[in-house]
Amino acid sequence: MARRPSPAGAEAAHPSEESWFAALGVSQDTQIDDEAAGGRGRSRPSGWRAAESQDSRFLTRQARRLLGATTQPSFQRIYRAFLGARVAVGLLLLGAQAASHLIGAGSPGPSWVLAASAAYALATLVAWWLGRHAAEGRQGRPVHRLRRGQWLSTVGLDVAAFGLLHLFGSTGNINYLPLLVLPVLMAGVLTSRGAALSVAAAITLLLLGDAWWRAADGNFSMLYMQAGLVGSGFFVIALLAGELASRLAREELAARGSMELARQQAQLNRLVIEEMQDGVLVVDRRGRVRVANPAARRLLAEEGLVPAPPFQLHGDPAWQPLAAVVMQSFKSGSSPETGLEVHLPFPSGHSRGLRVRLRFTKRRQPQASEELCVLFLEDLRDVQARTRQEKLAAMGRISAGIAHEIRNPLSAIAQANALLAEDLTTPAQRQLSQMVADNVERLKRIVDDVMEVAPGGPPVQAQPVDVTALVASTCSEWARTARLPLDERSALRVDLPLAPVGAAFDPDHLRRVLINLLDNGYRHASKRPGSVEVRLVAEPEVLTLSVCSDGPPIPLDVERYLFEPFFSTRSRGTGLGLYICKELCERYGATIDYRLRSAQYTARNEFYLVMRVVPLGPQDVPSASLNLTR
């Protein structure tokens, strides 16, 4: 069975009806849907999210007008304008004829002219009413040319109606010839050049025929000259209208492309801002927050997120320090390049420190003052941690180089001291030699510790280890080394799960971390039974190993430097123990920290290590158990 041609194919079969606005195309990517223009977020075919309602506040009046203009295709807007003009002409024509017949002034003309005017006015009203959907095809897609029915109901009807009025309705007082300009102009704008010239040619032939008809009364040359001049004017109007329409189409195509590029750039900027780790706020002179990315909303809230903008920066008492900085910067017109430190006091008593950098946007006039303030917010703890990590990395590289250079002199000193000790006879001399040997060993331990955590070492290959068995064996060995009674009177208490639990950690490194924590805890403990506790708590995803002691609570000014290198409260301490523990834990994706437990516990000082749980194979489960008896 033969297939019927599609409407698109039928329309494509009449290229003569295409208008100049076909160059604009009908791509959906260059049009703003009504919901996006209204401010409601909506997913677009390209994957971007439509502009939020807050974006409209940054658009100037001219930009809003341009956005509103591009919401509809140009053909639709101009076609509606012509339909409105036809309605106005029809109503004016009907009103003039009705007034002429009612008043009776002059020669009102035949009665059929009044009826024709009424019919034309009614036809224009119907066409205007139906023209609301004129720019949509049968599939609801925008079109950019007049279909045959539209052409006949507009241009064709105007040529026929105004031609009849000119031929048979003109009197000495009324001339309908100027009305023929409207269909010529409409054809020049909304159809192709050939179709517009065809309309002008048809009207010219109509005028020449009327001149030939009237030439029977004489004055042949004047009538033909007048018809020729008017026809030439119609050709000029058709050509000029087509050229102006072509230029309008080109300019609108360029403007639409610029709008699409600007829209894509705005969407890219919005995406970048939303994904930034730093908080971004846009505030006006009244303290009204217009834009806030998720990071900024998280920093302004004690927990969770603050509501989406717009909101007042003066609306929360905790934000007053930040609002004061913004208002002061608006007054001075500048801010420090390095930023300012602002602390937000929350009602719960906690405070959050922020590093704030401010930038201003200016109006187009150079002499105008700043209008908007852009704030870049960083958590002061992150800034300090980043600075501390940079310093530690630099210090680690320097220390590793120094430690490497110290090894050879230390070996020479140790060997020379050993040779010298063989010839010493007096106790005082031997005591001095032993002092040299002890300090050499201490320096060697420092060198080994520094080289252990020095950057640039070989990559770490984590292997599953049974943490339960390792903690049990390490605690047993440490208790024997510390000469602790291995019974109920022991200062060490160990609480382990019955089943093996695995973690990705090197056994030697984990043993070193645990021994370091046991040494620190026992050193500051009261030495009473149970003064040092070791607990291993297994959860589905993580494993927590904690070492607690009943020593005095660590002061706050000491707590903040616990895991920094070369910090120690002992005169003979290296200050590298906890720092090495932290570096070793970070190698295997674990974390170590300190906290003070509540007063209901005897051992309140707790250092805890959090590791990820990994499954154990049969070869990873050793036959080791906790043994605290001799």
Distances in Å between the Cα of 149 and the Cα atoms of 9, 181, 425, 592 are: 16, 21, 126, 80
Handedness of CA 250, 255, 260, 261 (dihedral sign): positive
Residue 166's pLDDT is what? Answer: 76
- Is pLDDT at 545 greater than 90 in this prediction? yes
Residue 588's pLDDT is what? Answer: 87
- Is pLDDT at 334 greater than 80 in this prediction? no
Residue 169's pLDDT is what? Answer: 64
Q: Which of 37-41, 279-283, 341-345 is the least confident region?
A: 37-41
Residue 385's pLDDT is what? Answer: 76
Residue 70's pLDDT is what? Answer: 47
| 533 contacts 606 by C-beta, under 8 angstroms | no
| 438 contacts 445 by C-beta, under 8 angstroms | no
With CA atoms as reference, report the closest residue to 127 among 159, 160, 86.
Answer: 86
547 class by beta-carbon count within 10 Å (0-12 exposed, 13-18 middle, 19+ buried): buried
Say how far apart CA 122 and CA 129 lie, in whole Å: 11
Neighbours of 423 (CB within 10 A): 8
Residue 589: phi and psi, rounded to 5, are: 75, 15
Name the residue with tokens 């903690």: 471
pLDDT in tens, 172-221: 567 778 888 888 888 888 877 888 888 888 888 888 887 787 776 666 77
Cis geometry, peptide bond prior to residue 310 (ω within 30 degrees of 0)? yes
| 284 contacts 372 by C-beta, under 8 angstroms | yes
Q: What DSSP designation does 519 have?
A: H
Top mean-pLDDT range of 22-26, 131-135, 382-386, 591-595:
591-595
Residue 207's H or E segment, with its range, is helix 193-214
Say how far apart CA 416 and CA 491 lie, in whole Å: 42
- Is pLDDT at 273 greater than 90 in this prediction? no
User: What mean pLDDT value characterizes the chain?
Assistant: 76
With CA atoms as reference, report the closest residue to 164 among 62, 85, 93, 268.
Answer: 93
- Residue range 410-436: mean pLDDT, rounded: 86
Name the residue with tokens 């040779």: 419
62 band by pLDDT with thresholds 50, 70 and 90: very low
Residue 46's pLDDT is what? Answer: 34
Residue 105's pLDDT is what? Answer: 54
pLDDT in tens, 443-488: 887 777 667 666 655 556 678 889 999 999 999 888 888 888 777 7
Residue 408 three-state SS: helix
Residue 358 vs residue 192, higher pLDDT: 358
14 band by pLDDT with thresholds 50, 70 and 90: very low
| 373 contacts 334 by C-beta, under 8 angstroms | no
543 band by pLDDT with thresholds 50, 70 and 90: very high
Rg (CA), the chain: 45
- Is pLDDT at 32 greater than 50 in this prediction? no
- Is pLDDT at 41 greater than 80 in this prediction? no
Residue 627 three-state SS: coil
Say how far apart CA 296 and CA 43 lie, in whole Å: 24
What percent of the chain is modeled with pLDDT above 90?
5
Q: Please calculate the CA angle 72-77-80 and round it to the nearest 5 degrees.
A: 135
Residue 584's pLDDT is what? Answer: 85
Top mean-pLDDT range of 370-384, 513-527, 592-606:
513-527
Residue 141's pLDDT is what? Answer: 46
- Residue range 84-99: mean pLDDT, rounded: 82
Q: Which of 103-107, 286-290, 552-556 is the least confident region?
A: 103-107
Where are the strands (E) in 413-517, listed by range? 464-466, 492-495, 502-504
630 band by pLDDT with thresholds 50, 70 and 90: very low
- Is pLDDT at 122 greater than 50 in this prediction? yes
Say how far apart CA 139 and CA 555 lie, in whole Å: 76
Residue 158's pLDDT is what? Answer: 82
Residue 547's pLDDT is what? Answer: 92
Residue 470's pLDDT is what? Answer: 92
Q: Does the reported pTM lie above 0.75?
A: no
| 469 contacts 477 by C-beta, under 8 angstroms | no
Residue 451's H or E segment, with its range, is helix 427-452
Say how far apart CA 155 and CA 133 lie, in whole Å: 18
Top mean-pLDDT range of 129-133, 349-353, 591-595:
591-595
Residue 548's pLDDT is what? Answer: 92
Q: Please calculate the CA angle 70-74-78 and round it to the nearest 5 degrees.
A: 130
- Is pLDDT at 344 greater than 60 in this prediction? yes
Residue 132's pLDDT is what? Answer: 63
pLDDT in tens, 583-629: 888 888 899 998 888 767 777 788 999 999 888 876 666 554 455 43
- Is pLDDT at 376 greater than 70 in this prediction? yes
Residue 107 vs residue 84, higher pLDDT: 84
Q: What DSSP designation does 460 have?
A: P
Name the residue type at position 574: T
